[in-house]
Amino acid sequence: MNEDWPYLKKYQQENAELPLPKPDENRIVFMGDSITEFWSSIQPSFFLKQNCINRGISGQTTPQMLLRFRADVINLKPKLVVLLAGGNDIAGNTGPSTLKMIQNNLFSMIELAQVHHIKPILCSVLPANHFYWKPKEKPADTIIALNKSLRLYAETNSILFVDYYSQMVDQDKGLKVDYTDDGVHPNIKGYEIMAPLIEKTIELSLNKT
């Protein structure tokens, strides 16, 4: 068994070498799973342009992210954290997970960010009507329910919410075929849909007092 369950060692060296942000620096950390991690390699210009730090880890679930949130987000002292997570929980990557469990983990990360004066941006989970590594799972309706609850939480608590889902869903509640090569992960066209949505929200957040 891997004792480093949250995979803290993945970014340990990079975190140690990262200087503290300058007073006028709008540092942004992206926390998430493979959809976040792969973004840097598929569309590297986006992360360079935005002064963004990618702390996505492929396959991760929200309890793993919560355990590494201090090391990979809080200690880096960003202005903003962009949170996109929950799909792997629905897939059961680290065991069975209820909507309430996913919500609790996401909301805990948001509250931790706020306590440390880091503005959170909460993102919808991307559409998927199957997981190729879990063929028996039928995630479409669970993703819809999770996104509905995340949007409600964001609206109730005055948190900016990015709706990737409605821009990328097809008639079968899956990811549009043009935006993916495997039905789950965005390709370059998918990230090109996502980038302006999050850029607009980052700008809103930085201009918000």
- Displacement of CA 6 from its chain's centroid (Å): 15
What is the dihedral sign for C-alpha 205, 17, 70, 144?
positive
Flag whether 198 is in a domain. Answer: yes
Flag whether 7 is in a domain. Answer: no
**Is-contact 91 132, C-beta < 8 A?**
no
Flag whether 54 is in a domain. Answer: yes
pLDDT at 134: 81
The series of mean pLDDT values per 10 residues for the chain, 209 residues long, is 86 97 94 98 89 96 98 98 98 93 98 98 97 86 98 98 98 97 96 98 89
Query: Cβ contacts of residue 193 below 8 Å, gap of 6+?
Result: 164, 167, 168, 179, 186
pTM of the model: 0.96
pLDDT at 209: 58
pLDDT digits (tens, 9 = 90+) for 129-162: 998 878 888 999 999 999 999 999 999 999 999 9
pLDDT at 25: 92
Q: What is the CATH number of the domain that holds 110?
A: 3.40.50.1110
Flag whether 72 is in a domain. Answer: yes
Per DSSP, the three-state class of 130 is coil
Domain range holding 128? 26-207
Flag whether 20 is in a domain. Answer: no
Flag whether 73 is in a domain. Answer: yes
Residue 68 falls in which region: left (phi positive, over 0), alpha (psi -120 to 50) or beta:
alpha
Number of domains observed in the structure of the chain: 1
pLDDT digits (tens, 9 = 90+) for 44-65: 999 887 789 999 999 999 999 9
Flag whether 166 is in a domain. Answer: yes
Flag whether 10 is in a domain. Answer: no
- Classify strands 52-56 and 80-84 as parallel, antiparallel or unpaired: unpaired
